Amino acid sequence: MKNLLVFGMLTSAFILSKAQNTYYPQAFFDKKLAQNMIGFGNSTIEGVASTKQKNNWGIKPLLGEKHYAPKGTVVMLFPVTPYFEEFYKMRKKYENKKTTVYMSDEAFKYRIEALTDDHGRFKFEKLKPGNYYLETIVNFTATASYQQQTGQSDAYNAYGGYLYSTPIYQTFFYNYSSANRESKFVEIKQDGELKEINL
């Protein structure tokens, strides 16, 4: 029984070591400041949300095809508070396939959301001057390819003797669902300003 208990504890420890690591900012979240920063003003941020398919090295090609955010995609706007700045620095530093950085539930509430239209356009109105962070997840259909041998070409000498064979490959294309996070910091310097951006 004791051996079984030890085995269970070791198994649990191994599973936990493989699990996702989660971090939260330790800075104080000032909800009054956040609430004030997203209070009513006369400025507007409008733009278009799009993304590009990453290549095999995880880079979005400069001249790659644009995929516009589907209708109804949520674009979030956060006030750039000291708490948010720490969150963003931590995410840039630590986030990877095994580590995720989250805001607290309370901090996450202080945001504004907009929905994209048929062409990926969105708009935030009645904003105050200040610094904002916009983020969305753009879902799209990506294209990939693979090669498969479909035959071979045989070479013979002048007397009809076999020399060698060269495989013949054909490229096949297929589609799959993918998603990219797109984000941008935007500063409104004066009340009544209109900012046009590409997200």
Residues 143-164: tens digit of each pLDDT: 887 889 888 999 998 888 899 9
Strand extents, DSSP E, the chain: 21-23, 43-48, 50-52, 66-68, 74-79, 99-101, 112-115, 121-127, 130-156, 162-188, 194-198
pLDDT of residue 76: 98
Instruction: Say if CB 112 and CB 133 are below 8 A apart.
Output: no
Q: Using CB atoms within 10 A of its CB, is residue 122 exposed (0-12), middle (13-18) or buried (19+)?
A: buried
Q: Which two tokens stand for residue 133?
A: 């962070």
Contacts of 161 (CB under 8 A, 6+ apart): none
Query: Which of 99-108, 148-157, 181-190 is predicted least confidently?
Result: 148-157
pLDDT of residue 83: 97
Beta strands 43-48; 66-68: pairing state:
unpaired
32-89 per-position pLDDT tens digit: 999 999 999 999 999 999 999 877 676 777 777 889 999 999 999 999 999 999 999 9
pLDDT of residue 3: 47
Q: What is the pTM of this model?
A: 0.76
